[in-house]
Structure 1
Amino acid sequence: MSKIALTGANGFLGWHVRAATHAEGDEFAGIPVGDAFDADRAAALIDGSARAIHLAGVNRGPDENVATGNVRFAEQFASALRAAAEPPVVVVFANSTQVNNGSVYGDAKSRAAAIIAAAAEDVGAEFCDVRLPNLFGEHGQPFYNAVTATFCHLLARGEEPEVQQDRELTLLHAQDAADLLRGTISLEEGRARERRECVSSLLGRLSEIAALYTEGEIPDVSTAFGRDLFNTYRSYAFSRQAPIRLQPHADARGAFFEIVRTHGGNAQSSFSTTVPGVTRGDHYHRRKVERFTVLSGVGRISLRRLFTDEVVSFEISGEEPGAVDIPTLWAHNITNVGSEMLYTSFWTDDIFDPQNPDTIAEVV
């Protein structure tokens, strides 16, 4: 187990880095900066860490706040690095590809990088300046983090977003950015995972995803980018679009209903029986798309977003067949709360790989 120290832990990217750290079984230490900064406590949190990552920054606001905020946070982080009894082996700065564009934000990020690089050199740590493009992913803040978050937020509410300025974006999913910052993938692999997309094209993709998913259908998830966009959209559609009610077709022979309709990609289906009172699951996925469908009996599907306490539950009976699509980075389980055997179907967008199961234990 390695210790990862992190500023900006409560932000969008910070949440994703924490999730990736948890998935790898590493220890996490969040370092408050700004008005909440405590020099002694910050040094203690960094002490003995394998990697210290500086995420905290000011992305938007008055120019003065952007300029001074980014430098202030970097100076606080740098002072904690120098004060740590056992400095980290690696120091990482979550920089931006806008660093050299001449903007106030770009200049502030450049100054912050220089401050942190000097501190890393002073303590003998390796310094990694990771320049990130436009990030997207689950639970980004609309109208703040990225246009993808804004589009998903509006589409999930049945609204029609508009393109204010059409330009090409370089996009990277937040879990890929987390892997990059944690050093589990190389800079070259991180660049290979980026995707160039015009704003108008991005809106077109997300609009198609929303239209299909409103009908309970799974869009084309045959590419990593398509899957990641779908998972991002699903984080905004949940839980208003759950459970998905399935339409049974019954006659004298019995009943028939469609479990899932997909528009591209691999898939695997499985089936389980669960005796009364027993719970299955208690894990989460970083990237896997998964659908639970109750076929017979009564099941309670419970879910909890990582690092939160609120549990969302749905009770579904086979008499009124329904499905719940499990959001990525949410712990989940299913419990037989009835008196008869529970029959459940499980569908995923990938074929299970025991070497890379994407199934991390976590109790709901």
Structure 2
Amino acid sequence: MKIVVTGSKGFIGKNLCIMLREHGYQDIIEVDRETSQEMLSQYLCEADFVYHLAGINRPKDDSEFQLGNADLTSYIAEKLKQSDKKVPLVISSSTQAELNNAYGQSKLIAEKAVEQYGISAGASYYIYRFPNVFGKWCKPNYNSFVATFCYNTLNGLDITINDPQAPVTLVYIDDVCASLISLINGDSDSGYKTVSPSYSSTVGDVANLLRSFKASRNNLVTENVGTGLVRALYSTYISYMSPDQFSYSIPSYGDERGVFSEMLKTKEAGQFSFFTAHPGITRGGHYHHTKNEKFLVVKGKALFKFEHIVTGECYELLTDSSSLRVVETVPGWSHDITNIGDEEMIVMLWANEVFDREAPDTFARPL
């Protein structure tokens, strides 16, 4: 299958071409501004499926809207009709097609050309009126406020917000590409299509989230970046990092026993840290009422000791880095850990809550 992608060097096109290849489609013909009209015509004659993503949205003159949106789409539609192959055609339009401005009207004309092609040629056609599409590789200060906000926030530049409460509908580039690729199997009816999920937010809320991402390198508190809009925004935010921004330092606290360092704190699922202990050193000697922890020795040998604070029942457990065994502390049991090896011990630690100096839920009780 020969798949033609116009606008292949643009934001959506670049992501789409990569993901098409990941799905096993290798014969992808990439069309960009350097492609001549003659070559475009030849590619369209060979095409089995066309994604028309090229367009004009930041012209020097409004007349370019007609040429780059309406006329180019009409040309593509006509060439496909002449091929008599009933080639499916997908077009990326905009929610502004509903508005009475030069850009929106040029997109509306392009939509009608695609619809007329599908009907007259008996071919499948798909029209997407994309809202705000965001994700990696979108140009800052071009056609996505999210891209601009990400870049500026990362680099300490001001962002302009006229109305923080202004509503926005957002779709993530991975979801856009997944929707586009799903059309190839031909199971979808022709007509207008939407991307799912879409996210409703405000300009101010997006800006605040990005600020919290930046602050997390200092306070070590991460947002819930594993699902939904926050996941997509965080991935987008870090995609604008330059290589010299890939790393950052975290504080560590050392004494005669070794080093302790917090790595990451969450709002709902505790925190991650690690500590070291020199040979013969014991850490701990306390209990908790509610707080609980998971320890993993990643270097060295450890002896864990436990004592029930009411019954006095005792228990000991040996572990080392060769077994990668997680040891949990249990409320109501005092516990400590001793390095019984000949080398420095390194232990990963997860606690179910972020340490609160005002209410630490940690009570000394040496074993």
TM-score, length of structure 2 as denominator length: 0.64
Shift of residue 125 of structure 1? 1.5
- 1:242 aligned to 243, 246, 263, which one? 246
Does 2:55 correspond to 1:57? yes
C-alpha distance in 2 between matches for 1:55 and 1:41: 14
Please name the residue that 1:278 is paired with: none
Please name the residue that 2:144 is paired with: 146
Please name the residue that 1:232 is paired with: 236
C-alpha distance in 2 between matches for 1:114 and 1:45: 19
Shift of residue 256 of structure 1? 4.1
Shift of residue 159 of structure 1? 2.3
Q: Work out which of the two has the higher radius of gyration on C-alpha atoms and give 1 or 2.
A: 2
Please name the residue that 2:105 is paired with: 107
C-alpha distance in 1 between matches for 2:262 and 2:45: 52
Query: Partner letter of residue 152 of structure 1?
Result: C
Shift of residue 181 of structure 1? 2.1
Please name the residue that 1:175 is paired with: 174
CA contact (8 A) 2:250 2:261 kept: yes
**Does the C-alpha gap of structure 1 residues 72 and 131 become closer, same or farther in structure 2, counting only changes over 3 Å?**
same
Shift of residue 262 of structure 1? 3.5
Does 2:134 correspond to 1:136? yes
Please name the residue that 2:19 is paired with: 20
**Does the C-alpha gap of structure 1 residues 217 and 21 become closer, same or farther in structure 2, counting only changes over 3 Å?**
farther
For residues 262-281 of structure 1, the aligned pairs below 5 Å read: 262-263=266-267
CA contact (8 A) 1:17 1:178 kept: yes
- 1:207 aligned to 207, 211, 221, which one? 211
- 1:93 aligned to 88, 91, 109, which one? 91
**Does the C-alpha gap of structure 1 residues 257 and 99 become closer, same or farther in structure 2, counting only changes over 3 Å?**
same
- 1:194 aligned to 184, 193, 198, which one? 198
Structure 1 unmatched ranges of 5 or more: 269-294, 297-342, 346-364
Kindly report the root-mean-square deviation, in angstroms, between the aligned alpha carbons of the 2 structures. Answer: 3.5
Deviations 1:142-172 (A, max 9, x none): 1112111111111000223120345211111
Give the secondary structure class of the aligned counterpart of 1:27.
Answer: coil
Shift of residue 223 of structure 1? 3.0
C-alpha distance in 2 between matches for 1:64 and 1:8: 19
Give the secondary structure class of the aligned counterpart of 2:89.
Answer: strand
Shift of residue 225 of structure 1? 0.6
Structure 2 unmatched ranges of 5 or more: 273-297, 300-345, 349-367
Give the secondary structure class of the aligned counterpart of 2:244.
Answer: coil
Please name the residue that 1:11 is paired with: 10
**Does the C-alpha gap of structure 1 residues 86 and 267 become closer, same or farther in structure 2, counting only changes over 3 Å?**
farther
